[in-house]
Amino acid sequence: MGISSTFNEKINFVAALALALHKYGLAAHNLEGVVNNVSHSLKLEVEVFSTPTLLLLDFTDPLGLEVKQVAKRLKPGDINLDLLSRIDELGDRVMAGDIGAKAAFEELKLIQSEKELYPPIYEALAFSAIAFTISIFFGANLIALLLSSVGGLIVGLVCVYLTKVIDIGRFLELMLAFLISFLTICIFHFYPLFTPNLVNISSLIFLVPGVGLTIAMTELATDNLVSGTARFMGAMMNLFKLVFGLVIGTYFGTLVVGETTIIDFEVVKYPFFLQVLALFIVAVAFTILMKTKFENYFWILAAAFLGFSSYKFILDFTSEPFIATFLASFTVSLLGSFYARFFKHPAVTVLIPGITLLVPGSMGLRGLSLVLQEDTVLGVNTLIKVFFTGIAIVAGLLLANICLPPKRSL
């Protein structure tokens, strides 16, 4: 029996919807939930298998008479919260019966063809802003703050402009880590007034796959074992690229300027109000880099402030970082569920910016660096803390979804 046009229109839309959700960085369990809900409303049976590099869809009509499979080899998606939100709204309209599959398919193509929300230079400056604010949270001195901002700007300019001219995607993390560590060690040789490792990590912080590690552990916890394992190994490989780039950059830097004795300066204790001010800056940067509209700025700021302040308060009260991370993740996830439930928008719009300040990416970078420097005991101990911190975040997310279900797949 031939495939009917109506059936074909439905599967075209659902397949395009799934591909778009994958392209814009949605986790496997969320993607499968959205696709299943939309397919059910269109009276389609679908089996979904999603990994960071593969999407399989198996469609069947309600009578089991017509079948079609879709298989796509894909690149890992990049987070775009604005398009995720608009696609989610389109899915809601389809499920409500306000728009048909054919019209929804055309509208989905229009959504994806629209130009970027922000000019490229804004994105480059956002990299610099994140490096600056992370340096404040790390307790960097004023020289390190300045150098981290410049380093973040270099990373942003390369990511935004050079990657569009030269295909260096697979080499990007290693190249940037090499460049930043090379420049840092050269500057430190002549002006030893800052902590080089802190500048390196702050400059590269947005490339550190902390969110990817957390999403991977969430997928594993929700029984998406293949996707979670693949995403986890991809994040670890990016960490290895960054660490190796830092090592060889420092090595070649010392060859150029000579042997340099690394000095770690005392951590600066910035007042809490200055750290809160930094949150206003980092929320702007998250709004730009995670590609969401400025009308969501308040919610991103609220999530960042809630996660950061609750972690600080609980840590001062209990002195247990894993408990503080767990409860901070729980409070941020509650905010995301509230946002999704009462404003009918995806919880990830709030959730991802909120947990980004909690994820253990910089800790993982430091742990691998210590292992390569043959400080194995401290390095392995740091890496173990990375995994426990990730588990604490995931546990907080899952518990919040039980206490206040968002009633949405996103």
224 found inside a domain: no
What pLDDT, on a 0 to 100 scale, did the predictor assign at position 188? 93
- 37 with 65, same domain: the answer is yes
- 389 with 258, same domain: the answer is no
Going residue by residue through the chain (410 aa), what tens digit of pLDDT does each one get?
344 458 888 999 999 999 999 999 888 988 999 999 999 998 888 999 999 999 999 988 776 666 788 899 998 888 899 999 999 999 999 998 899 999 999 999 999 988 888 999 999 999 999 999 999 988 899 999 999 999 999 999 999 998 888 877 788 999 999 999 999 999 999 999 898 988 999 999 998 887 888 888 889 888 898 999 999 999 889 988 998 999 999 999 999 998 877 777 778 888 888 988 999 999 999 999 999 999 899 999 999 999 888 988 898 888 888 899 999 999 999 999 999 888 888 888 888 888 888 876 666 667 666 666 666 677 778 778 888 888 899 999 999 989 988 776 66
297 found inside a domain: yes
222 found inside a domain: no
Residue among 156, 260, 259 nearest 202 (CA):
156
- 335 with 387, same domain: the answer is yes
Indicate the number of domains in the chain: 3
What pLDDT, on a 0 to 100 scale, did the predictor assign at position 114? 85
What pLDDT, on a 0 to 100 scale, did the predictor assign at position 77? 84
Structural domain of residue 174, as residue ranges? 118-209+232-283
- 177 with 243, same domain: the answer is yes
221 found inside a domain: no
What pLDDT, on a 0 to 100 scale, did the predictor assign at position 273? 86
What pLDDT, on a 0 to 100 scale, did the predictor assign at position 82? 92
- 189 with 277, same domain: the answer is yes
User: What's the pTM?
Assistant: 0.90
Cα separations (Å) of 196 from 64, 151, 248, 288, 371?
63, 12, 14, 28, 18
- 304 with 272, same domain: the answer is no
- 97 with 133, same domain: the answer is no
Instruction: Give the domain-ending residue among 113, 147, 172.
Output: 113
- 169 with 279, same domain: the answer is yes
What pLDDT, on a 0 to 100 scale, did the predictor assign at position 168? 79
Q: What span, in angstroms and rounded, lies between the C-alpha atoms of 67 and 46?
A: 10
What pLDDT, on a 0 to 100 scale, did the predictor assign at position 316? 85
214 found inside a domain: no
CB-based burial label for 258 (10 Å; 0-12, 13-18, 19+)? exposed
- 197 with 241, same domain: the answer is yes
- 70 with 159, same domain: the answer is no
218 found inside a domain: no
What pLDDT, on a 0 to 100 scale, did the predictor assign at position 1? 39
220 found inside a domain: no
Instruction: Give the domain-ending residue among 60, 78, 113.
Output: 113
- 255 with 318, same domain: the answer is no
Instruction: Give the domain-ending residue among 69, 84, 113.
Output: 113
223 found inside a domain: no
- 166 with 19, same domain: the answer is no
